[in-house]
């Protein structure tokens, strides 16, 4: 009869061995230990395996702050190393959440941060502003408030006209984390919602402040370099404490500068803000504004708050009148102004010409911090600023004509009709 051991070994495809031989015993022990023997006769590498004990499990860091008590194993408890309070710590029933919660509020824990704790800081000195606020530098107890930090961040974005993605820049995140690590920096979408919420709150506050006040409106329109028409509407009023206030009610695009169009925009703005007491409307001397005033008078003729049937509603801008007077007077010296303007335009046209002008000023020992500037038609005082700066460098222009050949050739250029392109140069008489 066939040996059963040989039959089983044949069925598994292995070579049968005798269990009583020394070689078989050695192989069995090697297989049990999981050893590997090198063919070159080197020391075998033993791979041991054992069952994992409960003590080998990774312990929670909470046990650095708590100690298990020697109590009933079925209801284990742990003691805080700082204040001595006891908590249930069964691994299945309780876990470690209760101990972590205690550690955040433990009064004797050396690394706990008390959110109610305030810090004394010295407020910086603030100059007196329109609202009469003034601070001479006082001590104040300030605590960390996440809501106030977000509101202040939204105000910073609005006041400094920053883009919403500014809060996602690496530099700002580094600064915020260094200044206050507990502040969770919001995303650009959150800041956008905060700015919109702040706008709505300020709008409601302004609407409340305008209620019952007699208001004076001021409006003006202009066209940008992109050929887009804009209109701004400003309101002035004096409150019950005789303080003058000024606020911008609307800044929007308009289709054209026609008087009726401007009047309709002002009417819609007054309805939106609930304005029913208008004292005056100040505009410049453009002819279209006469149509605007007539349109508004027709709109407000049935209002019970009218004063003298809006006879004195139209107020002409005094600054615009003064500007027209000055521009009319400058026509008497227009030739001299054109010469000075062309001379300044030559100096500012290239860096090399500015350097030559600067060297002439250094040779004449002229120390003036003001720089040459060109006037702008829409800036009423820009012509005065241009002439004021040019007067300081009067002798420099004379030397520039003697030392710089390009300066004189600039004024000798002619067009196709043999006319001078640039009038000048300016002389001492100019």
pLDDT of 168 over the 90 cut: yes
In which element (H, E) is residue 244 found? Answer: strand 244-253
Where in the chain are all domains bearing CATH 3.30.420? 215-316
Taking the model in full, what pTM does it have? 0.60
CB 274 within 8 Å of CB 211: yes
CB 333 within 8 Å of CB 368: no
Which spans in 313-421 are helix H? 318-330, 334-347, 351-363, 382-392, 394-403, 405-410
- List the single range of 59-68, 107-116, 292-301 with lowest mean pLDDT: 107-116
Give the three-state DSSP class for 111: coil
CA atoms within 13 A on the CB side of 121: 10
Cβ atoms within 10 A of the Cβ of 166, count? 15
Average pLDDT, the chain: 81
> So what's the pLDDT on residue 2?
42
> So what's the pLDDT on residue 21?
43
Catalogue the E-assigned strands of 51-160.
66-68, 77-80, 86-88, 119-122, 139-142
pLDDT of 54 over the 90 cut: no
For residue 277, what are the contacts with CB-CB under 8 A and spacing of at least 6? 212, 213, 214, 215, 305
Rounded Cα distance, 251 and 233, in Å: 7
- List the single range of 64-73, 167-176, 199-208 with lowest mean pLDDT: 64-73
Instruction: Report residue 414's pLDDT band, with 50, 70 and 90 as the boundaries.
Output: confident
Give the three-state DSSP class for 333: helix
The average pLDDT across 20-46 equals 45
> So what's the pLDDT on residue 24?
44
Q: What is the pLDDT of residues 355-403, one digit of tens each?
A: 888 888 888 888 877 888 888 876 778 888 999 988 888 888 888 888 8
Instruction: Report residue 136's pLDDT band, with 50, 70 and 90 as the boundaries.
Output: low
> So what's the pLDDT on residue 33?
42
Instruction: Report residue 145's pLDDT band, with 50, 70 and 90 as the boundaries.
Output: confident
pLDDT of 194 over the 90 cut: yes
* Phi–psi pair at 233, nearest 5 degrees: -120, 120
Instruction: Report residue 15's pLDDT band, with 50, 70 and 90 as the boundaries.
Output: very low
Instruction: Report residue 320's pLDDT band, with 50, 70 and 90 as the boundaries.
Output: confident
pLDDT of 69 over the 60 cut: yes
Percent of the chain with pLDDT over 90: 36
Percent of the chain with pLDDT over 70: 81
Residue with tokens 């002008």: 357
Rounded Cα distance, 107 and 114, in Å: 9
pLDDT of 419 over the 90 cut: no
> So what's the pLDDT on residue 16?
43
End-to-end CA distance of the chain: 138
Instruction: Report residue 139's pLDDT band, with 50, 70 and 90 as the boundaries.
Output: confident
Rounded Cα distance, 418 and 310, in Å: 58
> So what's the pLDDT on residue 405?
84
The average pLDDT across 20-40 equals 44
Give the three-state DSSP class for 213: coil
Q: Which CATH number fits domain 215-316: 2.60.120, 1.10.10, 2.40.160, 3.30.420?
A: 3.30.420
The average pLDDT across 150-166 equals 94
Omega within 30 of 0 (cis) for the link into 427: no
Q: What is the pLDDT of residues 238-273, one digit of tens each?
A: 998 999 999 999 999 999 999 999 999 999 999 999
pLDDT of 413 over the 50 cut: yes
């Amino acid at each position: 009869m066939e040996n059963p051991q040989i039959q089983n070994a044949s069925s598994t495809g292995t070579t049968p061995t005798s269990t009583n031989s020394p070689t078989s015993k050695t192989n069995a022990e090697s297989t049990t230990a999981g050893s590997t023997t090198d063919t070159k006769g080197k020391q075998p590498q033993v791979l041991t395996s054992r069952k994992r004990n409960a003590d080998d499990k990774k312990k929670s860091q909470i046990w650095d702050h708590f100690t298990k008590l020697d109590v009933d194993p079925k209801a284990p408890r742990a003691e805080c190393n700082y204040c001595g309070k006891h908590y249930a710590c069964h691994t299945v029933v309780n876990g470690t959440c209760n101990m972590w919660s205690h550690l955040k509020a433990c009064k004797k824990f050396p690394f706990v941060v008390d959110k109610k704790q305030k810090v004394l800081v010295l407020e910086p000195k603030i100059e007196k502003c329109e609202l009469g606020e003034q601070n001479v530098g006082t001590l104040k107890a300030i605590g960390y408030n996440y809501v106030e930090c977000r509101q202040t961040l939204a105000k910073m974005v609005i006041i400094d006209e920053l883009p919403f993605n500014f809060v996602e820049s690496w530099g700002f995140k580094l600064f915020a984390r260094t200044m206050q690590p507990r502040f969770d920096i919001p995303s650009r979408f959150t800041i956008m919602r905060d700015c919109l919420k702040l706008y709505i709150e300020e709008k409601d506050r302004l609407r409340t402040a305008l209620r019952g006040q007699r208001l004076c409106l001021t409006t003006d329109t202009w066209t940008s370099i992109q050929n887009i028409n804009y209109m701004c509407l400003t309101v002035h009023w004096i409150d019950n404490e005789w303080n003058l206030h000024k606020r911008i009610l609307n800044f929007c695009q308009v289709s054209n500068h026609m008087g009726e169009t401007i009047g309709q925009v002002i009417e819609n703005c007054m309805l939106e803000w609930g304005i029913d007491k208008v004292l005056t409307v100040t505009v410049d001397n453009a002819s279209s504004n006469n149509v605007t005033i007539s349109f508004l008078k027709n709109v407000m003729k049935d209002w019970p708050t009218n004063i003298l049937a809006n006879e004195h509603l139209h107020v002409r801008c005094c600054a615009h009148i003064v500007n027209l007077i000055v521009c009319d007077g400058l026509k008497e010296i227009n030739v001299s102004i054109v010469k000075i303007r062309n001379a300044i335009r030559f100096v500012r046209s290239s860096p090399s010409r500015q350097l030559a002008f600067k060297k002439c000023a250094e040779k004449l020992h002229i120390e003036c911090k003001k720089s040459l500037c060109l006037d702008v038609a829409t800036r009423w005082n820009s012509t005065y600023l241009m002439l004021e700066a040019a007067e300081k460098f009067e002798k420099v222009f004379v030397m520039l004509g003697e030392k710089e050949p390009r300066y004189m050739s600039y004024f000798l250029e002619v067009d196709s009709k043999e006319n001078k392109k640039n009038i000048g140069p300016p002389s001492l008489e100019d």
